[in-house]
Chain A
Amino acid sequence: MTASWDSVYTVYTEMDGAFTISQSDKRAMYLQIMEQIKQRIALGDWKEGQPIPSIRQLAVDLQISVITGKRAYLELEREGVIVTQQGKGSRVASKPGLGMQLREQELEQHLEQAARIAGLLGMRPRELEERLREAGDRLNHRKAEKETV
């Protein structure tokens, strides 16, 4: 039991190299940590139900304060993304389809942002729909162009 925990653990601490806290990023540090953890789960690097580093370990690896790590984990717990058990550490929530759900959530956020800006510009929903379609066409067009080159 302990051996398997350890081996999983090592895999994750090695991956922490990709965690980065940016000081030019305007968002609070705990939000940056939350987003990066969600990304790992969305991409399937961190699997459902698997152990993740302890708060103190995360703080040491990222060179941040324990309180910031704690904040990130608490919020992730509240959102149901991770589970923390007293004395047993934290793990990714065992929810089938969690990765997909997180990706959906990200899309939702971008759509809301687009809707908000459209509202500020006084755009009607119809126009926004049209613009979204155009954006999709542009993307496909660029992709096709790249492939022919």
Chain B
Amino acid sequence: MDPCDKLLNRITAKLEVDRELQMEVASELRCHIADKASELRASGLGEVEALDQACNALGEPDDLAEQLWQANRIRIGIRGTLRWAARVALIPAAIVVVFAIASGMAGENWTYGLFPTSDFTGTSTFKLLPEEQRYILVGDPGATDDVAKAKSISDRWPDDPVYYGHYATWKANSQWNSLRRLSPQSEEAEMKSWLDLYERGRQVDPENAFYDIATAALLAQCAGKVSEDQERAYVQVDSQGREKSKPIYRFNLARPERFELAVESLREGLAKEEFSCRSAEMLDLRLSILPEAERFSDFLRRLQWRWSFLLPGLNQYRNLAKALCARSVALAERGEQDEALMLVDQAKSLASKIGARGSTLIELLVAQAIQTLALAHERHVWVELGMPEQAEGALREFDRQNEAFNNARNAPRWFDQEQQRQAGLLWANLLPHFSEPMDFEPMRSAEKALFQQLGLLVLLGFLVAAALLNVAVVGYDLIRRDRRRVGAGLLLFVGWRRIGMICLFAIVLPLAAYVVYSYGLTRSDHQYGLNYTAGKVLSEVGLTVAAVLVLLRATGYAAVRARAAEISLAVPAPIRLRNRPFIAVLGVLSFAPSIVYLIGWRIGYFRPTARNFADVVLPGLALSGALLAFLLIWRVREANALRDACNELIRFRRTLRRSMVPILAAAVILVGAVCGWSLANMEKSAISRVRGQAAWDWRDEMERSTFGPLKERFVRMEQARKTLPSHVQ
């Protein structure tokens, strides 16, 4: 150590608690001594003498050390506090920001959870509800499964038809395998629990046909076996004009008494006005207890709930219809005309009951299937009875109704290709049969806001991962410090001006470019959904994320390097692209295609012409993948370059890693807070506009669709049926 360094060590010894400041003051004084010595040498003094005089001119070292300590001690205290806060608080705060955005997207606070049956009892929303409402939502907390929960609700309010219907439906759905196994060979005892379940339903909800028809279906299932008749079939033309062969069914009746009871129960059910499994009412009640959906995920889960609740036992009705039709043909073969016609009429009545009372497309389709099944079998009944004119009439009616159904399927739709582009991902998949115009803007905006949040999460995830990696390496370096005798890296404060430059160049400018392109230059594309613009949105988000990551790293590195040079730390030569030809070329090859693609999109090229993955999504996915690959290669090469640096630069390398941690964490907090808050509000605002539209409900779908006329036809048939004599109702 030369005399000058010894003197500077003595002068700055009291500043050791702040190594960065100590090195900065030493650097400043060293510069002063060098200037002074240089001047003295110019006046004729020798090298050693000039340096001695320059050192002496500073004054008494201990006095100067004390004065420097007094002048800087307040600043040292403040810097120490800030440094401590940066070390302790920034990374956890950054992680909190990322989790806040992710949990906001997942909407955990306001929903039933990811799956309809998942546990949501831990959410704050649930805990704030009155006990009675909590019970309606989840039943007895001690109940072990969904059926037991549903039963506990019904047991608490035993006379409520909605709670009982909910329980009976859950039981039938959950224990479907047990129900399906029942057969003509089953003993009465095996059927008893199910028959008791439906009988109790009849008492609680006497005007509802649901329990009568469910009983009929169960008894018919246990009365005989339905199979396809290998010799007889009928032809049905589908909506594409193709002829399809469908089977006539046979019914191997093993327990006639059960079938008689089934027919009787069905007759009682068809005479009743009401026909509901009550699950929809239960769902409405539960949803009315919870707050309205705020986030896209909330909305999606409510849709999922509605969907999952509205498909109870439709397959049982089809099986019942098959049994009735097959039995009617068998009776006709024996010449029992009245009985045969009565059964086939009951099948048609079942169809009109489901079609007229049902409200979902799936119910309508089941009603239509039962109706065509009944008409096809009716023709064979008339044939077996030796009445060709009536058989011909039944065939004409079959063809007429089938044609009406195909016309409904092929009816011109409001939902053309242009609408499909505008619909967004969700509506484009759910609405193809809809005839009624609706405003796609809110859901489209919500989807885009969600997608942008996903991009934001990817960016923040990379930044947090980089910060945590640096923390891990710094920790490892600290362990190795004594062994290598190189010294720990410093946590440098690069200065507010440099932080401002980092914010400007690495964050504000890329985000501003994104906003200008997405919300300015291609503003008109906001009228289209992600199902059309996914490639473009993926590319612009990917490009922005990559640009922020590259620029943040580059400006952060430059800032730390400049600061390290100021305090006389040995630093590597500045990064020049001409010294890194491989990375420069790779960077151009990775970024240029995305830029060209986005410019091309703006001009009109590169827009998808077909609605498929390759046209819509693949370009954006490929371009973003190329950018990601570049980022990985670039980071690995940079890390290797630093690792291979000579020993003098090890301390700079450690300082760089340590100092980049707060820069990365602060960037996460800044970008996450500003962009996350904005995008979450965009999403909430869009979802509130969705709520403002006509409330979306699966039960409206039939009226909204091109199948509306079919529903009206079933309603007319149901009304006409009531005018018939009671034995055929």
Task: Note whether A and B form a binding pair.
Answer: no
A binding-site residues for B, Cβ under 8 Å: none
